[in-house]
Amino acid sequence: MFGGQDSKQHTVQPYVTGTSVIGLKCADGVVLGADTLVSYGSLAKNRKTSRLMTVSNHCSLGFSGEYSDFQEIKSTLEELMISEYCMADNIPMQPRAIHQYLARVMYEARNKQDPLYNQLVIGGVLPATGEGYLGLVDLLGTNYESEMIATGYGTYIALPLLRKAYRPDITVAEGRKVIEDCLRVLYYRDARSIDTVQISTVTKEGAETTEPFKLETSWDFKKFKAGSRLIDESTW
Amino acid sequence: MFRNQYDTDITTWSPQGRLHQVEYAMEAVKQGSAVVGVRSDTHVVLATLKRSTSELASTQKKLFSIDDHLGIAIAGLTADARVLGRHMRTECMNYKYIYETAMPVGRLALNVADKCQVSTQRASKRPFGVGLLIAGYDELGPHLYQSCPSGNYYEFYSMAIGARSQSAKTYLERHFEEFASLELQDLILQAIRALRETVSSSKDAELTSKNCAIAYVGKGDTFTIVEDEEIQPYLDTLENSDGKQEEEEEETEDAAEQTEDKPTDAPMED
Amino acid sequence: MMDFGTPVLEPGSANGTKQVPQFNPYQDNGGTVASIAGDDYVIVAADTRFTLGYSIPTRKISRVLKINDKVMLGTAGMQADTCALHKVISTRMRMYEHDNNKRMTFNAVSQMLSTVLYYKRFFPYYTFNIVAGLDDKGEGWVCGYDAIGSFEQRKIVCNGAGTKLMQPVFDNQVDWAQSWDGAGKPNLSLEQATDLMKDAFTSAAEREITVGDTLQIYKITKDGIQLEEFELKKD
């Protein structure tokens, strides 16, 4: 099956990968965050690659997992948005529709035993009401909506923080700070992360992704300095 | 025998720049019994006149539900309409399967118009002999579209197609500006009034629960067909309100006769 | 963390030394669905916890699909397959309604689900289903399925992760299985069935880590479908 002369090669494991993406739904929109590193195993292959993309005026997308598969997804999405534009009927594609479309793409790929090795986080607003939308799709086609989403190590490190910070009336401005904090914590503990990050905000006014910027970090915490030893109560 | 030598196949132009076969298909729409569509800010209503081939037969279906948010009324060949209807249902299901959102009405109207166009440009095909009024409600609100055998499609505030639809159109042209703010129940009555214009001039005389069916769709309402005994209350309401109108008119006429030259401000039409 | 799949030995490789990771298209996302049917009602219950290994990526997903006012489908197992299955069932249900100009009956739905599942016999949906509904006479019934479509119509079924903990309780409390001749078997009311369902899920949530968060109980009666939500433990 693998490498035979007349057999087709499928991705069975990711090579060039991005780590966590996180997202938080807010009262007036959505915030997504990701760092800008793509790794090749333990090698920091590229330190300034955008892992967030703006899909439309009402929708942004972030990925973790295989970079090449994401580029494939990106171009199919761009194709979709161009054909939408060509309909010229002023019907904005809803974030939910984009989310479900991607879920079909990912699920069909897994059905062919040829998965797109990614987790995708879709953030958007409903054009009519300005209400936020946040969803996830993974390489198996798993898809759900949630108030807070994190992939990769973010599931363990950022998700509890997001759950704690979440309020139904949290604003995008507040959410942005929460996301930045989560990215900082991830940078402290995820060895495949970097302190250069991007944040994407989607509100009624539009979708905006920042240029990559450096996180302010502090390494003066007592336990960071002391390090962890057997006698320590905990590594934290 | 033939109207001219340029109408025997679909893809041949006449020197006047016309496609006769397509125009004949457009004529088929005018042979079908009338259908009327009206739109308010929240709803679309379709009203249809059903015909039967004989006293012994049931009436032909004029209304088809396509999806929860969308349906059609047809004028022309019912058999052709069924083909288009099935196509539209499939398109709606496919759209929902992929996007988990309802297909925008305008997209479906364009899709079905494209399908009609194909059969005006292929020697091996025949145009669909049916016109559609497409009524639907999507994220941009209520919509009413008409599609033609030629592949043309238009969006309307109000529209009527089919036999004697001109009189309904005249009614609609006079009243459509009032429709925007109407409640659903009043909008339905307006649709039936417009439809009635197409029968009043003919010998089959009046709308009954047997020959009239309506459908509505809009904010908070999925596409719903109302026919048979369910439509009777609407016809009754209409008759009552018109009865009153006539009585009033008669009274004022009497009064006018008595005081002869005095002008009257009684409404002359409803 | 990314699941790379379990490395397996490639069947053709000489003396099994060459290790090749293989993509595993399946995943267990937990979840339990259960249904109790009575003389004039049926209730469908499902928890909303979505698990991935030991993680809970989200606490609120729906496992239940409303077919119409009288029939519902509940699905546990893999979430992506659940979605796909629910899409196929909704689409075929819509086609049935267009073609036959009537709603699908409980029997029609239960047979259709079996057909849809068996159609993928050699690449199955990793899903464990129940179909619950009222029959033509208004009596409640429920069908339980395995992943490839074999099914049985009963009065009480549960399926999914919590089955092992809950089924014996239902056998005892609803089916009266401990009695040979069924003497003294209770006829549960809608309220009693709902309470039993809450107790069963609360108990299952104590020992089965993939059960928890919120319990959704759909009550189907001749008057339509009502949803009651009941909080389970969140840890």
- DSSP state string for C29-43: ---EEEEEE-SS-EE
Q: Is the pLDDT of residue A8 over 70?
A: no
Partner-chain contact A91 B107, CB within 8 Å: yes
Nearest to B227 by CA among B239, B210, B207, B205: B210
Partner-chain contact B139 A128, CB within 8 Å: yes
- Asked if B137 contacts B44 with a C-beta cutoff of 8 angstroms, the reply is yes
How far apart CA A77 and CA A100 sit, in angstroms, is 12
Which of C94, C99, C100 should be substituted to probe chain B, the one whose Cβ sees the most B Cβ atoms within 10 Å? C94
Nearest to A61 by CA among A85, A88, A82, A81: A81
Residue B245 pLDDT grade (very low, low, confident, very high; cuts 50, 70, 90): low
Beta-carbon contacts of A150 under 8 Å, excluding residues fewer than 6 positions away, are: A20, A21, A22, A23, A157, A158, A159, A162, A182, C57
A11 is catalytic: yes
Q: Is A17 on the interface with C (CB under 8 A)?
A: yes
pLDDT in tens, chain C (235 residues): 455 555 554 555 555 555 667 899 999 999 999 999 999 999 999 999 999 999 999 999 999 999 999 999 999 999 999 999 999 999 999 999 999 999 999 999 999 999 999 999 999 999 999 999 999 999 999 999 999 999 999 999 999 999 999 999 999 999 999 999 989 999 999 999 999 999 999 999 999 999 999 999 999 999 999 999 999 999 9
Residue A214 pLDDT grade (very low, low, confident, very high; cuts 50, 70, 90): very high
Predicted local distance difference test score (pLDDT) of residue A1: 43
Residue of B nearest to C86 (CA): B97
- Asked if A120 contacts A136 with a C-beta cutoff of 8 angstroms, the reply is yes
- Please, which residues bridge with residue B221 across strands? B218
Nearest to A29 by CA among A151, A163, A123: A123
How confident is the model over B32-65, as pLDDT tens digits? Answer: 999 999 999 999 999 999 998 888 999 999 999 9
Beta-carbon contacts of B17 under 8 Å, excluding residues fewer than 6 positions away, are: none
Beta-carbon contacts of A177 under 8 Å, excluding residues fewer than 6 positions away, are: none
Question: Counting every residue, how long is chain B?
Answer: 270
**Tell me, what amino acid is at C108?**
A
Q: Which residue has the tokens 């008119």?
A: B249
Q: Which chains touch B (3 or more CB pairs under 8 A)?
A: A, C
CA distance A103 to chain B (A): 9
- Residue B57: CA count within 13 A, CB half-sphere: 8
Residue A127 pLDDT grade (very low, low, confident, very high; cuts 50, 70, 90): confident
How far apart CA C167 and CA C201 sit, in angstroms, is 11
Residue of C nearest to A159 (CA): C57
- Please, which residues bridge with residue A65 across strands? A18, A118
What residues of B are in the A interface, CB distance below 8 Å? 97-101, 104, 106-107, 110, 138-140
Predicted local distance difference test score (pLDDT) of residue A12: 78
Q: Which helix (H) or strand (E) holds B168?
A: helix B165-179
Q: Is C122 on the interface with A (CB under 8 A)?
A: no
Nearest to C214 by CA among C53, C64, C37, C41: C64
The strand ranges marked E within chain C are 7-9, 19-21, 32-37, 42-47, 50-52, 55-58, 64-66, 71-77, 127-134, 140-145, 151-154, 156-160, 214-221, 224-231
Helix, strand, coil shares, percent, chain B, to 5: 40, 25, 35
DSSP state of A120: E
What angle (nearest 5°) sits at the alpha carbon of residue A123, between those of residues C127 and A182?
A: 95
Predicted local distance difference test score (pLDDT) of residue B270: 33
Residue of B nearest to C96 (CA): B89
DSSP state of A93: P
Partner-chain contact B65 C87, CB within 8 Å: no
Beta-carbon contacts of B67 under 8 Å, excluding residues fewer than 6 positions away, are: B89, B92, B93, B96, B102, B103, B223, C94
Q: Which residue has the tokens 């009550």?
A: C219
How confident is the model over B201-223, as pLDDT tens digits? Answer: 656 568 999 999 999 999 999 99
How confident is the model over A51-78, as pLDDT tens digits? Answer: 999 999 999 999 999 999 999 999 999 9
B24-37 burial, b if ≥16 CB within 10 A, otherwise e? bbbebbbebbbbbb
Q: Is C87 on the interface with B (CB under 8 A)?
A: yes
**Distance (Å) of CA B20 to CA A230, B3, B25, B151:** 93, 9, 9, 14
- Please, which residues bridge with residue C129 across strands? C75
DSSP state of C59: S
How far apart CA A149 and CA B219 sit, in angstroms, is 33
Beta-carbon contacts of B230 under 8 Å, excluding residues fewer than 6 positions away, are: B209
Q: For residues A39-45, give the mean pLDDT.
A: 96
Number of neighbours of residue C99 by Cβ within 10 angstroms: 10
How far apart CA C88 and CA C93 sit, in angstroms, is 8
Partner-chain contact B99 A91, CB within 8 Å: no
Dihedral sign (CA C50, C55, C56, C57): negative
Q: Is C19 on the interface with B (CB under 8 A)?
A: no
Predicted local distance difference test score (pLDDT) of residue A230: 55
CA distance C24 to chain A (A): 8
Beta-carbon contacts of A126 under 8 Å, excluding residues fewer than 6 positions away, are: A58, A94, A95, A96, A133
Q: Is the pLDDT of residue A46 over 70?
A: yes
CA distance C87 to chain B (A): 6
Predicted local distance difference test score (pLDDT) of residue C76: 98
Centroid of chain to Cα C178: 25
Write the residue in A119, A143, A156 that is nearest to C83 by C-beta.
Answer: A143
Q: Is the pLDDT of residue A192 over 60?
A: yes
CA distance A27 to chain B (A): 21
- Asked if B105 contacts B138 with a C-beta cutoff of 8 angstroms, the reply is yes
Residue B259 pLDDT grade (very low, low, confident, very high; cuts 50, 70, 90): very low
**Tell me, what amino acid is at A199?**
I
Q: Which chains touch C (3 or more CB pairs under 8 A)?
A: A, B
How far apart CA B106 and CA B101 sit, in angstroms, is 14
Number of neighbours of residue A231 by Cβ within 10 angstroms: 5
- Asked if B45 contacts B216 with a C-beta cutoff of 8 angstroms, the reply is yes
Q: Which residue has the tokens 């997903």?
A: C61
Residue of C nearest to B66 (CA): C98
Partner-chain contact C1 A146, CB within 8 Å: no
Following DSSP, what letter does each residue of C152-194 receive, concatenated? EEESEEEEETTHHHHHHHHHHHTS-TTSSS-TT-----HHHHH
**Distance (Å) of CA A43 to CA A134, A193, A198, B159:** 31, 11, 21, 67
Nearest to A149 by CA among C77, C55, C31: C55
- Please, which residues bridge with residue A121 across strands? A62, A136
Residue A231 pLDDT grade (very low, low, confident, very high; cuts 50, 70, 90): low
Going along chain B from its start, the domains and CATH numbers come out as 33-241 (3.60.20.10)
**Tell me, what amino acid is at C204?**
A
DSSP state of B231: G
**Distance (Å) of CA A114 to CA A12, A139, B42, C26:** 8, 10, 46, 13
How far apart CA C84 and CA A107 sit, in angstroms, is 8
How far apart CA C117 and CA C63 sit, in angstroms, is 17
Beta-carbon contacts of C235 under 8 Å, excluding residues fewer than 6 positions away, are: C212
